[in-house]
Amino acid sequence: MSTQVRTFMKQPVVTSTFPCDVGAVRDLMKQKDCHAIPLVEVGENNQITIRGIVTSDDLLGVYDDTINIQQIMNDNVHVVNPQSNAQSAAKMMLRHHTHHLVAMEDGKIVGIISSLDFVSLVAEKGI
């Protein structure tokens, strides 16, 4: 049986409401010690819409904390089901040239995985 995303995804996921400014995201990353934050809007019936994702790399060289996060975020967020196998998630990352996938289930963000999580998985499983 293959390894499912849910077994190595990080949770809970730190999110920020959209819109916001760079300073709010930078402070949140420092406070929560994380390197990627999905930006979400909460609609009717608490339905979550992912508007973008910001990584610590996106913040490099951005010195004005009052800039709207929309100017630097990546609005092409890739979502994976936590029951998906690791191989299909890795292929998705390669196909889309991305380092982060957001795991969603029943309309809720339940985890996030990074390319570094795959390195850890390989190191632990000895693949």
Per-residue pLDDT reduced to its tens digit, 36-79: 999 999 888 888 999 999 999 999 999 999 999 999 999 999 99
Range of the domain at 17: 5-125
Strands 79-80, 36-42: parallel, antiparallel or unpaired by DSSP? unpaired
Write the CB contacts of 3 (distance below 8 Å, at least 6 apart in sequence): 85, 86, 121, 125
Residue 126: predicted pLDDT: 72
Torsion of CA 114, 98, 101, 121, to 10 degrees: -30
CATH number of the domain encompassing residue 97: 3.10.580.10
What amino acid is encoded at 22 in this protein? V
- Predicted confidence band at 95 (pLDDT cuts at 50, 70, 90)? very high
Q: What is the pTM of this model?
A: 0.92
Contact 117, 9 (CB under 8 A): yes
Mean pLDDT, the chain, as a whole number?
94
Over range 96-124, report the average pLDDT: 94
Write the CB contacts of 100 (distance below 8 Å, at least 6 apart in sequence): 36, 53, 55, 78, 112, 113, 114, 115
Tell me the three state secondary structure of residue 78: coil
CB atoms within 10 A of CB 61: 7
Residue 46: predicted pLDDT: 83
Query: If we measure between CA atoms, which residue out of 89, 91, 96, 88 comes closest to residue 112?
Result: 89
Would you say residue 1 has pLDDT above 60? no
Angle, alpha carbons 112-51-43 (nearest 5°): 100
Give the total number of structural domains in the chain: 1
